[in-house]
Structure 1
Amino acid sequence: MDVRQQITPLISFAVSAVLVALSVYLLVVGQQLLLPLVIAIVFWFLINVLANLVGRLHIGQRHLPRPFCFLAAILLFFAAVGIIVQFVSGSLNDLGSVTRVYEANLRQHWQSVPFNETIGSAGMSQIIGEWLDISAILTGLALTFTGLAADGVLITIYVGFMLFEQGNFKAKLAALVGDPGRERRVLRIIDKVRSDIQMYISIKLLTSLMTGILSYIVLRALGIDFPEVWGVLIFLLNFIPTVGSIIATLFPAVIALAQSPDGIYLSLTVLVLIGALQVFIGNVIEPRLMGTSLNLSPIVILFNLALWGYIWGIAGMFLCVPFLIITTIVLSHFPKTRPIAILLSSNGQIDLPDETSELLNKP
């Protein structure tokens, strides 16, 4: 009996490890099928958030009709996506016309580095040469952009069907659960997921927009080429935890260096000013707005970023925090998985009554 009690946890751990490895494998293999669906779910969620915001408006003493709210939200959302698509495509064409000048200036800076020939003899010069190939970077961005655009029709179809089906969600849930008490608790989990993700996206949107606008003002004042492009890029990169902010700081500094053969001081100025903006907004303003409501461990966020970056690339990096929020909330509602949720949290405190988990698992 003692031997069996010792072996059972090992078997459970082995089965769990195999299931996790299999899940990661299926996510990697099924990227072409699953990623458009996940992006469609994100778009569907954002449209619902916009519809709720529009629904708060009043005509006299009456709220706007719900169908009108959804129609306005859909039009606003796809108009915003269309503007971003047109802006990015036009910006890539403009950048393509000056890439050769940028590459020549960067190579000239590299050649002026002391001991660069000694470093290059070890093969570093080839690596630096590939890194300075801005045209190749733009080509890669264009291919990524084209791939997402190719999935646009499929994503739009998914979003349309989800909007059409969402009215029947509660009826399906009631039929699936069969118990009014358990149904209320499942809805509570869903509402918690929705509210936390909505709060994260809203605050992240505000802080990223603030960083992008202020960075645009700084870059334009310093005379950096295409400041609006780097402002939009900084805005988007700030949705990627930690790594995005670092790239958003370094990339404008490199562009400042590439503008002219004498751009070293301009590059350092950009690095200091944009870095100061990132530190102030990311470490002062954003934590004050977020508070401790998300309660996610920074180390776990970094690991999650690396994991989803490996699984789904850049798209996975953007989605890693919402995925982590959903995982933590769901795991916290079940006694057997609550220790994992505690490990994922920042302070180890999971604010959930014990009776909720017990009733959710009640046969």
Structure 2
Amino acid sequence: MMPEGRKAHSTRILVAAASTIVIIAGLKLAQGFFVPILLAVFIATVSFPITKWLRRHKVPRFFAVLLTVLVDFAFLTGIIVIVISLMGDLEDKWQTKYFPAVNERIEEISLTAVDLLENWQVKDAEGMVRQYTNVEIPQKLGANLDVFGVGANVAWGLISFLGTSLLVLILTVFMLSEARMFGRRKNAILEARGPNFDRFMNSSADIQRYLAMKTVVSLATGVLAGFLCWAAGLDFFVLWGIVAFAMNFIPVLGSIIAGIPPVILAFLVNDAASAIAVGIGYISINIFLGNFLEPMLMGRRFGLSTLIVIISVLFWGWIWGPVGMLLAVPLTMVVKVMLENSDELRWISVAITKEKRRPILSSDDDEDLEDNLLDENLEISPPFSETSKS
């Protein structure tokens, strides 16, 4: 017969596992609710330095927030317009340049494979190769698609996107407007004998720094990737730079995915040597920027192992799609702090930590944070904040 203590422990494990499954299912079902909020959090955090700079130059808060949102809107709209324009050019280039190149490369690969198999004395080598390479490639992109169905889906998708964008901008306005109230509310909660959010505040300050640094690194990645594609003689180097910038926000996997289209394009248009050179260039960019700058955030400060980062990207991507992948590291850090506050689950936080546990922010970090992020005594950057001075 099982002892009472072991039975109670097993019951707690089963309850915890069932609760975790219910929470994960709820988060996935509530994707439509959480995704706009997370996007607003991301935009407000990244663009808050603009508001802070305007406030330091005596611009009233209302106009500072308004100008910040207008800058965000102009930046995002500009990227969308550029991408749509380049996609139209890509349609034309596919018919006149890339379609013949694809057929030519397939023919070259087929002949090489036939020669190799014949040297190995394989019977009917040509028929075997043609069986796998005789693929009908549409000369016009979307030629085999249901135009009406695709058009309807695009229209509904555009309406949904515009509605979500409007909601995100509204949430961003309120987050930027109420930034200075976060510190006061935290202190009021503490005075009312509520929970102490100091650990969350310190972690939130780190997350804000992570997003700010990630934006700078992503911009550098996009510029260098675009220059690399231009130097390699590839078309649409601006598009590949934008893709590299956007995908670099997804840890580890994003940069790999961003490098695949230019490598394939270099192979189709130029040759294998050009594709290898472009691939090496992308790897060099990511090694230089990712292994020297980002470890300062994800290694020394965040303490998450590379394996945990990859798993978190896959998990949050499954839960909330691209937005979850975009904010995988910050979301995992929030979960890590919650685990650290639990006596029974603290071991999980230790297990996913790369280094020995250490304070998230040192005293020097506290001073730097106050000097660089605060523009008023009680104002903090949204939606992540630092403990206000009493």
Q: Give TM-score scaled by structure 1 length.
A: 0.79
Alignment deviations for residues 212-268 of structure 1 (CA, whole Å, 9 cap, x no partner): 11122222122110111101111111111111111222221112223x3x5333222
SS at match of 1:77: helix
Cα offset, 1:108, TM superposition: 3.0
- For structure 2, the residue ranges without an aligned partner over 5 or more in a row are 115-126, 144-149, 362-390
Cα offset, 1:33, TM superposition: 3.1
Distance 1:174 1:272, change over 3 A: closer
Question: What percentage of aligned pairs have identical amino acids?
Answer: 24
Aligned length: 338
In the TM superposition, 1:186-201 aligns within 5 A as 186=197, 188-201=198-211
In the TM superposition, 1:51-62 aligns within 5 A as 51-55=51-55, 57-58=56-57
Alignment deviations for residues 68-103 of structure 1 (CA, whole Å, 9 cap, x no partner): 433332222222222222222222222222233424
Aligned position for 1:155: 168
In the TM superposition, 1:86-105 aligns within 5 A as 86-100=81-95, 101-105=97-101
Query: Retained in 1: the 8 A contact 2:69–2:173?
Result: no
Superposition CA RMSD, Å: 3.5
Cα offset, 1:6, TM superposition: 0.6
Task: Work out whether 1:77 is the aligned partner of 2:87.
Answer: no
Distance 1:174 1:209, change over 3 A: closer
> 1:153 corresponds to which letter in structure 2?
L
Task: Work out whether 1:340 is the aligned partner of 2:348.
Answer: yes
Q: After alignment, is 298-307 or 36-45 more displaced?
A: 36-45
Task: Work out whether 1:280 is the aligned partner of 2:288.
Answer: yes
Distance 1:319 1:17, change over 3 A: same
Distance 1:352 1:31, change over 3 A: closer
One of 103, 106, 109 as aligned partner of 2:105: 109
Cα offset, 1:134, TM superposition: 6.7
> 2:67 corresponds to which letter in structure 1?
A
Query: Retained in 1: the 8 A contact 2:69–2:172?
Result: no
- For structure 1, the residue ranges without an aligned partner over 5 or more in a row are 354-363
2 CA distance for matches of 1:133 and 1:254?
19
Query: Retained in 1: the 8 A contact 2:46–2:211?
Result: no
> 1:158 corresponds to which letter in structure 2?
L
2 CA distance for matches of 1:10 and 1:84?
53
Distance 1:43 1:352, change over 3 A: closer
1 CA distance for matches of 2:46 and 2:329?
16
> 1:265 corresponds to which letter in structure 2?
A
Task: Work out whether 1:329 is the aligned partner of 2:337.
Answer: yes
Query: Retained in 1: the 8 A contact 2:38–2:323?
Result: no
Q: Give TM-score scaled by structure 2 length.
A: 0.74
Aligned position for 1:37: 37
Larger helix share, 1 or 2: 1
Aligned position for 2:357: 349
Alignment deviations for residues 269-299 of structure 1 (CA, whole Å, 9 cap, x no partner): 2122222222222223433566501111211
1 CA distance for matches of 2:129 and 2:272?
21
Aligned position for 2:12: 12
Aligned position for 2:322: 314
